[in-house]
Chain A
Amino acid sequence: MTHAISIDDLSYRAGRHFAIRDLRMRVPNGSVYGFLGPNGSGKTTTLRLLLGMLPPGDGTITVLGHDVPRGAHHALARIGYVPERLHLYPMLTVAETMRHHASFYPTWSATEAERLRRTFDLRDEQRVGRLSKGEAGKLMMLLALAVRPELLVLDEPTDGLDPVVRRDVLAALLDYVSAYGATVLVSSHLVHEQERICDWIGVMDGGRLVAEMPMHAFRSGIKRLRIAGAPPQATPAPFGILARRAGPGREEEWVVRDWRDDMMSWFASGDASLREVVDLDLEESFVETLRAARDAGGRAA
Chain B
Amino acid sequence: MFGQTLYVQWKWNRDFLAFYTFVAFTAPLIILWVALPHLGLSSARELVRIGGVVGIAIAVISVCAGMTVAWQGYGVDERVGHMYALSLPLTRTQALGMRAAAALALLSVPAMGVWVGSVLAAGQVALPASLHSYAGSLAGRALLAAWLAHACIFALRYSAGRRAKVVLFALAIGVGSLGFATEAVPGARSTIVRAAEFLISNPGPFGVFFGRWTLIDV
Contact = CB atoms under 8 A, between A and B. Distances in A.
Contact of A90 (B3, B7, B79, B94): B79
Interface of B: 1, 3-4, 7-8, 11-12, 76, 79-81, 83-84, 86-91, 94
Contacts of B11: 91-92, 96
Contacts of A89: 8, 12, 76, 80, 84
A100 interface: yes
Interface string A19-30: 000000000000
B81 A100 contact: no
Interface residues of A, number: 23
Contact of B1 (A53, A90, A104): A104
16 contacts: A52-B86, A53-B86, A81-B87, A83-B87, A85-B81, A86-B80, A89-B80, A90-B80, A91-B76, A92-B8, A92-B11, A96-B11, A99-B4, A100-B4, A104-B90, A105-B89
Interface stretch (A72-80, A166-174, A196-204, A232-240): A72-80
Contacts, number: 55
Contact of A104 (B7, B79, B89): B89
A77 B84 contact: no
Contacts of B1: 103-104
Which secondary structure dominates chain B's binding surface? helix
Which secondary structure dominates chain A's binding surface? loop
Interface of A: 51-53, 73-74, 76-77, 81, 83, 85-92, 96, 99-100, 103-105
Contacts of A76: 87-89
A83 B82 CA distance: 12
A287 to B, nearest CB: 31
B179 to A, nearest CB: 37
B89 A77 contact: yes
Contact of B80 (A88, A96, A99): A88
B91 A73 contact: yes
Contacts of B76: 89, 91
A86 B79 CA distance: 10
Contacts of B91: 73
A87 B79 CA distance: 9
Q: Which 6 A-B pairs have the closest CB atoms?
A: A87-B83, A77-B89, A76-B89, A103-B4, A100-B4, A87-B84
Nearest to B14: A91
Contacts of B90: 73, 104
Contacts of A86: 80
Nearest to A103: B4
Interface centre among B80, B83, B86, B87 (most CB of A within 10 A): B87
B83 A83 contact: yes
B8 to A, nearest CB: 6
B96 to A, nearest CB: 13
A53 B87 contact: yes
A52 B84 CA distance: 13
Nearest to A102: B4
Contacts of B81: 85, 87
Contacts of B89: 73-74, 76-77, 104-105
B80 A100 contact: no
Contacts of A90: 79-80
